Structure 1
Amino acid sequence: MSDAQRFLSVSGPRTLEESAFTSPEPGPGRVVVDIAYTGICGTDVHGYTDGSMLPPAVFGHEWAGTVRSVGEGVSLVAPGDRVVGGVGPACGHCGQCLAGHAKNCDVVFAEANGVDEQAPDHGAFATQVEVSQRRVIPVPDALSDIDAALVEPAAVTFHAVRRASIEPGCLAVVVGAGPIGLLTAQNARAAGAGRIIISEPSEPRRATARELGFEDVVEPDELQGRMDAVTAGVGADIVFECAGVPTLLQSSAELVRRGGTLALLGFPLSESTVSYADWQQRELTVIGSLAYNREDFVGVMRLVEQGSISLAPLHTGTIELSEVKDMLEELDSGQSTHTKVLVAPRGQD
């Protein structure tokens, strides 16, 4: 195959470079995927503005597409199959696996962060990618292409909710109703949370939360009052911090009841100041969550299949490769009304 392909990469602070390549013949154990959609993530925005923080494979890591060709030894997928980009199963031979900690496999963690030995040379702000067969996960027929493009961030939140071990009927608070917050709220509801309060400053995002069936949706300055009314001052059983704003970390922790849980999904890029004594005195359980395992992709797609969570309402716009730079600037401005923007590298139908 020799047809021309294109990809975008970050070449400096707020600088993108478009490169051309020819469609490769996949090597042993590798798969070539024609990209249908790639989601723009907050990580992509930070990588664009910083210019050097992201491994090349991570710039455009939320992707879905169709298998174009497969290399020798590939048995999981075949040409024509729809797939999403994910991670492989636990390797069974790294230090973590040999110590009995397969859920924290070093190879899977490297894949999730785009630094594994088989990582592609570029991400999926591209018409095509070639990846290890470990990285492709088949998409059920019940999921649309839009759904498939949103599976990766959904898996991030599915992973976090699993780690939080939600108890049925608990009171949960979600701080931030961007894509991660909205998906976290849905996964928490599917896991059995009894009441969920969402705090978000953006009216369009609050409207999306209501569209998804959440009734307790408030502006940040209304959150404490709603909490007091609901819990008589006791606090939430669990708070999911999804905004990633360093100054919100301690205030989010103060929403948690004594003995409750603070789950961290937002990823601040600078240090946060917290009251260690407060957390200790109130015996908080603090759970960090980053990325996912392969089973998180499988599990969250099952929830979409059965209608327990809905992904398409988060999709608020589709652009082409030539528009990515302007959209990254818009999203970085903090003034965008978008929830989740998808890039169609091969053009829109």
Structure 2
Amino acid sequence: MSAEDRYVRVSGPRELQAMAESAEERPAPDGVVVDITYCGVCGTDVHGYTDGHMLPPAVFGHEWTGVISAVGDEVTGLSVGQRVVGGVGPACGRCRQCAAGHARQCELVFAEANGVDEAAPAHGGFGTRVRVSARRVIPVPDGVTDVEAALVEPATVTFHAVRRTAMELGSVAVVQGAGPIGLLAAQHARNAGAGRVVVSEPSAARRSTAEKLGFRDVVAPEQLATMLMEITDGLGADVLFECTGVPSLLQPSAELVRRGGTLSLLGYPMAESTVSYADWQTRELTVIGSLAYNHEDFVGTLRAIAGKRLDVATLHTGTIGLSDLGSMLDELDSGSSSHTKVLVDPRK
């Protein structure tokens, strides 16, 4: 192992601090050390950078993949040289949710997903190495490339949301927003049996990416209502996946869903939203909230990528070094970036 580890952390609003410290030679007894290969830049990272204090340290750079370089004495089933992605462990079986039979809402898994568990690493994957609990790493199948592995985490976020939504086969599904989350959600919806998937996105570049992924019904937002009414003979969407997180779109999105349909929320708003409670109740909408994932979602996502049923590599539009992270976060925050998904290579 090198004598020095390097990583980047948020030190204030729009401020990054490059850190270097002596390398920990050994992991915790129940932990591993992972040498980072790539770490994806997420919208959450952008919000944490611009806000300056909202993210737990482990979450700034949470879309990482790498190679295990050391294994704790109590760890079994993992070995040095193994490729892994950062994820969450299986349900603990001991917390209040698990004891009540709600293993999919395990409190430990939820804490791990949000970087606030007791074993959370001191920093995220924007660095050369991370020390993490062994339960948090998930082996990467041989058929998955390093770039694909770096995109497993956001693909798992959307796998979880589409699984929770449990839409019926043949549904007309709308995906609002064709950023990484929307493009991944659209593919999962197609895999889950949607009869037709309509993608709405203001960016021409992102609409083009959606078309490259095989989606035919791709429109600008101002065209969405007209196309949807034509497809459904005025009925509305069976399911709408809201992937933008724009607070002002919540009620208009709900109004595109047919009576008795489902509104599935993936985008995370950073401000409060105003909705018509009476409208939602009168039309008997089902509203599904989704945040993060479970261990089994990672397993399913990796299988989908390895089986070539989920294309994540097309979303990769650039790779930068740690020194370029600040300028890239500013670019992504501007709203004018042409990038879909950027990876950080700490070796550059």
Q: Give TM-score scaled by structure 1 length.
A: 0.99
SS in 1 for 2:343: strand
User: What's 1:244 paired with?
Assistant: 245
Secondary structure of residue in 2 paired with 1:54 = coil
Name the aligned partner's letter for residue 346 of structure 1. R
What secondary structure sits across from 1:295 in the alignment?
A: helix
Aligned residues: 347
For 2:252, the aligned partner's letter is: S
* Counterpart residue number, 2:11: 11
Given that 1:76 and 1:133 are in contact with CA atoms closer than 8 Å, whether structure 2 keeps it comes out as no
Alignment of 1:32-71 (within 5 A): 32-71=33-72
**C-alpha separation between the residues in 2 aligned to 1:34 and 1:2?**
10
Aligned twin of 1:230: 231
Write the distance in 1 (CA, Å) between the matches of 2:313 and 2:280. Answer: 37
Corresponding residue for 1:345?
346
In 1, the alpha carbon distance for the partners of 2:77 and 2:43 equals 31
Take 2:77 and 2:295, find their aligned partners in 1: how far apart are those partners?
14
Match of 2:323 in 1: 322
Deviations 1:231-263 (A, max 9, x none): 111000000000000000011101100000000
Residue deviations 1:40-72, cap 9 Å, x none? 000000000000000000000000000011111
Shift of 1:161: 0.4
Query: Is 1:101 aligned with 2:102?
Result: yes
Contact 1:87 1:112 in 2 (8 A): yes
Task: Name the amino acid aligned to 2:22.
Answer: T
CA contact (8 A) 1:9 1:18 kept: yes
Give the root-mean-square deviation of aligned CA atoms: 0.7
Query: How far 1:77 moved relative to its partner?
Result: 1.2
- Superposed, 1:170-185 pairs within 5 Å as 170-185=171-186
Secondary structure at 2:235 match in 1 = coil
SS of aligned partner of 1:52: coil
What corresponds to 2:21 in structure 1? 21
CA distance, structure 1, for counterparts of residue 120 and residue 30 of structure 2? 13
Runs of 4+ with >6 A deviation: none
Offset of 1:22 from its aligned partner? 2.4
> Where does 1:1-349 land on structure 2 (aligned, <5 Å)?
1-24=1-24, 25-347=26-348
In 2: Cα distance, 1:293 partner to 1:274 partner: 29
Q: How far is the alpha carbon of 1:166 from its aligned partner?
A: 1.7
Unaligned runs of 5+ in 1: none
1:2 deviation in Å? 4.9
- Output the CA distance in 1 between the equivalents of 2:30 and 2:343: 29
Separation of aligned partners in 2, 1:252 and 1:109: 28
Q: What is the distance in 2 between the residues matched to 1:310 and 1:50?
A: 32
Q: 1:35·1:64 contact (CA, 8 Å) conserved in 2?
A: yes
Question: Which letter maps to 1:301?
Answer: L
> Matches of 1:197 and 1:307 in 2, distance apart?
22
Q: Which amino acid in 1 is paired with 2:4? A: A
Distance 1:21 1:241 in 2: 42
Q: How big is the shift at 1:315?
A: 0.3
State the SS of the aligned residue for 2:263.
strand
Percent of pairs identical after alignment? Answer: 66
TM-score, normalising length: structure 2: 0.99
